[in-house]
Amino acid sequence: MTVEMGPPPAPCVPAYRWRLQDRTTVFGTWCPWCRVVHGYAWPEATARPRMAHCATRESPFCARYYRLVCLGELKDGVYAPTLAQAEMIAAVKRLSAPGGRGSAADSSIAAIPAYRLRSSPMHLAFWCPWCRDVHLHGAAAGDGHRVAHCDVESSPFRDGGYHLTCFGTAPSGRLLPHQTAHELLVVSKMLGDREAMS
């Protein structure tokens, strides 16, 4: 008896949303192979796998489908965080793998997408939707657990801290993606969090 398998699940790619001058919302991802931002219409962009716009043959996404995972809102698509090719492949693996970063020992700690800052490469940073401010942490240690800088009582980070996961380089702290608490929850769960912020 032959069992037919469907196509493999589409990999998840980090993406961002922004508004055009006519108030149309666009969803896009930085492509390190052709070095441009590929944009898609919102909200259809997240509803189903999308055909990659990249036509560069070296790209693992050329003529393939992927799912866009929103990591926040930008002021404009030109400020999309950039990733090197190896960083994009690692980011896709982290977002696509069940359990993401995955050891059970740290599953109760929130996983947060963070960014190196072009204006301050010694730091990893993210915009916090609870205190509505940028949190800076030293980048020398790379990805991993940090003590929370958020002191808002309702913040789920206050007691346990968070696990920072680098998703490329942003121009500056002022131009970091602004994610909602819900988006942060969804991405944290994709990166391997099972209990935090519930």
Where do the domains of the chain lie? Answer: 9-96, 99-198
| pLDDT, tens only, 53-91 | 888 888 888 888 888 888 899 988 888 999 999 989 888
Tell which residue, 172, 71, 192, has the closest CA to residue 125.
172
pLDDT range class, residue 101, cuts 50, 70, 90 = very low
How confident is the model at residue 54, as a pLDDT?
84
What pLDDT is stored for residue 103 in this prediction? 37
> Which token pair is 47?
């509803």
| pLDDT score for 169 | 93
Mean pLDDT, range 24-38, rounded to an integer: 89
Which residues 6+ apart lie within 8 Å of 9 measured at CB?
Answer: 96
| pLDDT, tens only, 171-198 | 998 999 998 888 887 888 787 643 333 3
pTM, two decimal places: 0.81
Closest by CA to 98, choosing from 198, 192, 1, is 192
Question: H-helix or E-strand containing 88?
Answer: helix 85-96
DSSP E strand boundaries for 84-178 = 110-117, 120-128, 133-138, 144-146, 162-170
